[in-house]
Chains A and B, each alone.
Chain A
């Protein structure tokens, strides 16, 4: 079975631009979470979606938004990019996304803002 997939793998954007990152969960998983991992640090929680509804939100500005589609894939959007948004963005999928439910992570999208 295919694991969690993310696209693109890498991208370079300029300050002020907008970016859309995409994630396809493992088949059968209904929960998708997004994390931001700055180089050398642990991932920081951005959003969680379950059954197409936002169920969790981390401490990120409103420039960050996300959505989950009927097929449970997800998009993370970031507007008005800042240099500090440069990071590895990880997507994780799971059945219900809580408790002891294991989250399976994708390979990530490396975003560089210049």
Chain B
């Protein structure tokens, strides 16, 4: 079974600064998908960025980018030019590519990292 670990329960950053959230995962699969989700205090979870394991290039979405290290099974999220609206709980998630079995489409989440942004 796959596991996802976020070792930083809480992180803080000054507005306009850069912060990196860590995520490691364990899997025996060679192909898979990784995601970062943001859950603000309003609770609605939204997708921040996704990475296909077969792609060597790190994904980027505006101020958000990832550092995907497949051999190390590491998937960190970098937030540049942090804004007050970035304050939220961030979850790293793994999805297997296989459509069969009981894990069809299942997202396996880490424990989350609470990000505080100071003005």
Contact = CB atoms under 8 A, between A and B. Distances in A.
Interface of A: 31, 33, 35, 40-45, 48, 50, 55-58, 88, 90, 92, 94, 96-108
Per CB-CB distance, the 6 closest pairs between chain A and chain B, nearest first, are: A42-B109, A105-B45, A97-B105, A56-B104, A55-B104, A98-B105
B91 A100 contact: no
A41 B105 contact: no
Interface in B4-52: 4, 33, 37, 42-47, 50, 52
Given A41-B112, A99-B33, A90 B105 contact: no
A90 B44 CA distance: 9
B43 A88 contact: yes
Interface residues of B, number: 28
Contact of A97 (B44, B91, B104): B104
Given A42-B111, A98-B99, A103-B47, A58 B42 contact: no
B111 A41 contact: yes
A94 B35 CA distance: 15
A105 B46 contact: yes
A50 B104 contact: yes
Given A43-B91, A100-B33, A48 B105 contact: yes
B95 interface: yes
6 contacts: A41-B112, A45-B107, A55-B104, A57-B102, A88-B43, A108-B43
A43 B109 contact: yes
B38 to A, nearest CB: 11
Contacts of A55: 104-105
A28 to B, nearest CB: 17
Nearest to A42: B109
Interface in B38-86: 42-47, 50, 52
B118 interface: no
Given A88-B43, A102-B50, 14 more contacts: A33-B105, A33-B106, A42-B91, A43-B107, A43-B109, A48-B104, A50-B105, A56-B103, A56-B105, A56-B106, A57-B102, A96-B105, A97-B104, A97-B105
